[in-house]
Amino acid sequence: MDGSITTQTTVNLVLLGPPGAGKGTQARKLQDRFGLVQLSTGDLLRAAVAAGTEAGKAAKAVMERGDLVSDDIVIAILRDRLADPDCAGGVIFDGFPRTTVQAEALDALMAETGRAITAAISLEVDDAAMVTRISGRFTCAGCGEGYHDSFKTPVVDGTCDSCGGTAFKRRADDNAETVGQRLRAYHAQTAPLIDFYAATGVLTTIDAMQDIDRVETDLTAIVAKALA
Ligand code: AP5
């Protein structure tokens, strides 16, 4: 789908779902369509690792194992990014929060600036399919657009649809062994947030085993309704 929507009000969304559920893929689409900011703690942590910051040094081995980085580190990184002026127009939280401590910290951070979580959307998938999704994933090294060997290939082989770049990369933690641990961490520490957000009345679930365009249609309807 094409086009963007100009908004008078704003929304702050949490995308929940295990690794490979499509959080990043859909967050980028919502960002483009609604003018929201995609805030991915995975991307922020990978940038910290690449920059060799203290937080990045602490996070590197944890991420390679497929475990969760400590709440203190992630909340500090998130707090800094959330304070940037562009986030005032609405945020899509992609991969955050991942623990109850993080969810409570997010509520407190939002409340400090008179904001709140508008909707938490759980992308429901079968774990078994996630290994296939993740092991086939690659991204444009220039703009970060995501692709898949089978499910979403560039229109012109070897050229990014979004920016025309010709260099692509794969993530170090996208291997079957690490994906297994990431799925275990999701079910043990993050899945309880589905109940957390259900209790506050902002939870919606989506069948994310549908193809990418159908998931996008469902998500767009939820966000458009929230903005109406
Ligand atoms: P992070 O970067 O957040 O990774 P993740 O949660 O494991 O999620 P992924 O990026 O793997 O999956 P996704 O849902 O975005 O799927 P995508 O859209 O790419 O975290 C990495 C690590 O950082 C963690 O393990 C942890 O160590 C640390 N970390 C991050 N945040 C943290 C936090 N808050 N607290 C503590 N630690 C934290 O899609 C996957 C593939 O499938 C793509 O190739 C895509 O093209 C394809 N695809 C997508 N949707 C569909 C579809 N509907 N049908 C077919 N294919 C599809």
Exposure string of 146-180, with b = 16+ CB inside 10 Å and e = fewer, is: bbbeeebebeeeeebeeeebeebeeeebbeeebbe
Place of tokens 């770049």: 165
pLDDT of residue 201: 95
Judge contact between 226 and 220, C-beta under 8 A. Answer: no
- For the annotated catalytic residues, the residue numbers are 23, 98, 137, 170, 182
Each residue's pLDDT tens digit, 125-148: 999 999 999 999 999 999 999 999
Task: Note the pLDDT of residue 89.
Answer: 93
Instruction: Give the chain's mean pLDDT.
Output: 93
Q: Six-digit token pair at 92?
A: 């899509």
pLDDT of 1 above 80: no
Which atom in ligand 1 lies closest to the alpha carbon of residue 136? 44
168 alpha carbon – ligand 1 mean position (Å): 17
Q: List residues near ligand 1 (CB under 6 A).
A: 17, 19-25, 41-42, 45, 62-63, 66-69, 74, 95-96, 98, 102, 133-134, 136-137, 146-148, 151-152, 182, 208, 211-212, 215
What pLDDT score was predicted for residue 170? Answer: 94
**Sign of the alpha-carbon dihedral angle for 209, 219, 194, 97:** positive
- Please tell me the predicted confidence (pLDDT) of residue 177: 85
Are 204 and 15 contacting, i.e. CB atoms less than 8 angstroms apart?
no
Can you give the pLDDT at residue 98?
A: 98
How far is Cα of residue 149 from the mean position of the Cα atoms in its chain? 20
Pocket test for ligand 1, best of 23, 43, 190 (most atoms within 8 A of CB): 23
Q: Which residue owns the Cα nearest ligand 1 atom 1? A: 42
Per-residue confidence (pLDDT) for residue 176, from 0 to 100: 83
In angstroms, what is the span from residue 122 Cα to ligand 1's centroid?
A: 13
Instruction: Render pLDDT for 89-115 as a digit per residue (tens, 0 to 9).
Output: 999 999 999 999 999 999 999 999 899
